[in-house]
Chains A and B, each alone.
Chain A
Amino acid sequence: MSVSRGEAKRLSKTPKQRWLEGVYGPATKRRPERKPRFSTISDDEIEPLYTADDIADLDPHRDLGLPGEFPYTRGVQPSMYRGRLWTMRQFAGFGSAEDSNERFHYLLSQGVTGLSVAFDMPTLMGRDSDDPLSRGEVGREGVAVDTLRDMEILFDRIPLDQVTTSMTINGPASIVWAMYLATAEKRGIAFDRLGGTIQNDALKEYIAQREWIVPVKPAMGLVVDTFRYGSRDVPRWNTISVSGYHIREAGATALQELAFTLIDGLEYVKWGVAAGLDPNDFVPHLSFFFDVHNDFFEEIAKFRAARRIWAREIERRYHPTNERALMLRTHAQTAGVSLTAQQPYNNVVRVTLQALAAVLGGTQSLHTNSLDETYALPTKEAVTLALRTQQLIAHESGVADTIDPLAGSYYLETLTRRMEEGFERYLGEIEGMGGMVEAVERGYPQREITEAAFHFQQQVEEGEKVIVGINKYATGEKTHVPTLEIDPEVERKQNARLQETRKTRDAGRWGESLEALRQAAKSGDELMPRFLEAARANASVGEQVQVLKGVFGEYHDPGYF
């Protein structure tokens, strides 16, 4: 049979090409689309249609696997949410340890299934409440913790062996973790019964959050020290939460968030292995933390891609025998930066969509932001609604009843693949610089993110990207939202308590504990046991950080913009 040249050309076209040229093209010529170009919120261009042609080279066995099986695209647990729902973990902490303890009890009574501590700026920066630099900041953005005494009050009547606790702290992570351990010790709870997470992700501090204490390399050493201690002595603890959240909130694209976070993770593994640790022991204790932004499918793809890339990269580099080393387990938080001060009740809807994406992406744990996000730390009422949003998704929507329901979607699988390709480009770039530590020291990820943030803001100002209530459907009306007030007495009371502790503690034991810490830091000995002893001796966060700065030096903001 012979065919004409025109006929052959027509036949060699995929159905999608045929449709684009024959049906879609003429139709859109007659009636132009809503905009000249469609793209995700990260400005990744979107085609009008995805079909089987787009995923022709997807091998479901190789690329998706089945739940609980390599490469874990479909989820890390075999039964996912049918077995156990994700942990509903609301980030909380404000004012004094007493105020925050009360909030924890309230949240638990309302159905949160894990705790997450927000510390105030002085604590996050490793300063005591009575440091002159802490003025005006004590208890404002989280809870103030100076010594073991505060930690004990914070966790008063909380069953530490039953509830898992996540602590969002980085530079002083080891110090604060040691205070938590010392609290458990005082209550007679063995360390192997404690579950939880310390954020402890130094790299993203330099990249995005800027709560640094010491320079990058010694900070990496502190992190590796917790890997060693945790995998040996606190086996149910995640010693790091490698965080994309902060990177994204600083204005990164979804791809940058994914890539920088995973490359950070690989860098930690590299440092751990170089320090002589066995990846089978410590890699399973690495957990992750991603943002969930507005672009529904792009976000779901990000979570699925993250699991696949991590499994493949760890397998390729280390061939671990402990399968858990391959599994990317993650916490997620809805995107605070997407929420608006104008028409604040719209935020409830945004959060719902974002939370849904996190669940469809297969997260292990989730925080939903409150509608008053742009005003202050959340009120009790606002955080309750945010928690109810998760409970509604879990129990009413039906999306948690079958595993990874969106797998196989032409669009989603294409986006997932694209994330993976984008990751490879960034990996090549950063490995070319010698790894993430070097890239950070050069300011590479910092600049990439600033660029992306600026680009997005311009797109908003030009109306290319719509934010409802801001650049479209704006009313200029003011909606009153109740906001949380921080007791102005907190700072004074906290300082009084700290001074009381300073006066009454055993000065000899305190001094020895700090000296032992200094010696260990200088000689490169294990630090966690020293932090633990310092916690027991009622040394404050600030005092211990001063010792570290004395040995390791300080980091100064290079001020990229």
Chain B
Amino acid sequence: MVARALRDAGMEVIYTGVHQTPEQVVETALQEDADAIGLSLLSGAHNYIFPRISELMKEKGLDDVLLFGGGIIPEADWPALRKVGVERVFPPGATLEEITTYVREAVPKKRGVEV
């Protein structure tokens, strides 16, 4: 649904499908020259997956790619995620409007360019 909203808002969305490993996600981002990686994590594995992705992003030089996400992620975990470079977490109840607006603004900021 989030993917669909972003696409409808005129962005190019590569939906990797479900159950991807951190390695696969980062590889796709690299191949597709993505501006942002958005992850949906409802499984409770966010404290493992996000840090791992951010580590891999650093390794591959994807420092200017925006990392964000949403799902079932307790607020208590947000500060630690922010530290590893997850710039924003959208909890249940977030509107698609909020999400598209955020992506539209945050991506150019991250890249330091106008789009």
Contacts and interface: CB of A to CB of B under 8 A. Distances in A.
Contacts of B12: none
A477 interface: no
A340 interface: yes
A457 B95 CA distance: 8
A339 B115 CA distance: 38
Contacts of A125: 19
Contact of B48 (A136, A376, A561): A136
A340 B93 contact: yes
A32 interface: no
B112 interface: no
Size bracket of the A interface: 20 to 34
A486 B18 contact: no
A518 interface: no
Contact of A561 (B4, B21, B44, B72): B4
Contacts of B13: 561
B15 A374 contact: no
Contacts of B17: 556-559
A141 B44 contact: yes
Contacts of B47: 136
B4 A557 contact: no
Given A450-B4, A561-B15, A483 B44 contact: no
Given A450-B4, A470-B93, A133 B21 contact: yes
Interface string A102-143: 000000000000000000010001000000010111001100
A374 B45 contact: no
A461 B97 contact: yes
Contact of B92 (A210, A374, A561): A374
Interface string B21-63: 1000000000000000000000111011100000000000000
A251 interface: yes
B10 interface: no
A342 interface: yes
A453 interface: yes
Nearest to A460: B95
Contact of A251 (B1, B45, B95): B1
A220 B89 CA distance: 39
B48 A457 contact: no
Contacts of B91: 341
Contacts of A24: none
B96 A135 contact: no
A470 B91 CA distance: 12
B45 A136 contact: yes
Contacts of A136: 44-45, 47-49
Contacts of B95: 461
Given A251-B1, A454-B1, A454-B4, A137 B43 contact: yes
A539 B16 CA distance: 32
Given A135-B48, A374-B72, A210 B93 contact: no
A454 B6 CA distance: 12
Contacts of B19: 125, 210, 557
Interface string A521-561: 00000000000000000000000000000000000111101
A141 B96 contact: no
B3 interface: yes
A461 B93 CA distance: 10
B70 to A, nearest CB: 12
Contacts of A374: 72, 92
Contacts of A483: 74
Given A559-B15, A559-B17, A341 B92 contact: yes
Contacts of B43: 121, 137, 140-141
A375 B44 contact: no
Contact of A457 (B7, B72, B96): B96
Contact of A376 (B44, B45, B92): B44
Nearest to B47: A136
Interface in A212-253: 251
Given A135-B48, A561-B3, A375 B93 contact: no
Given A140-B44, A342-B93, A561-B13, 14 more contacts: A121-B43, A125-B19, A137-B45, A141-B43, A340-B93, A374-B72, A374-B92, A457-B96, A483-B74, A557-B18, A557-B19, A559-B17, A561-B3, A561-B7
The 9 closest A-B pairs by CB, nearest first: A136-B48, A557-B17, A136-B45, A140-B44, A559-B17, A561-B3, A341-B92, A559-B15, A210-B18
7 contacts: A136-B44, A137-B45, A140-B43, A340-B93, A341-B93, A376-B74, A453-B1
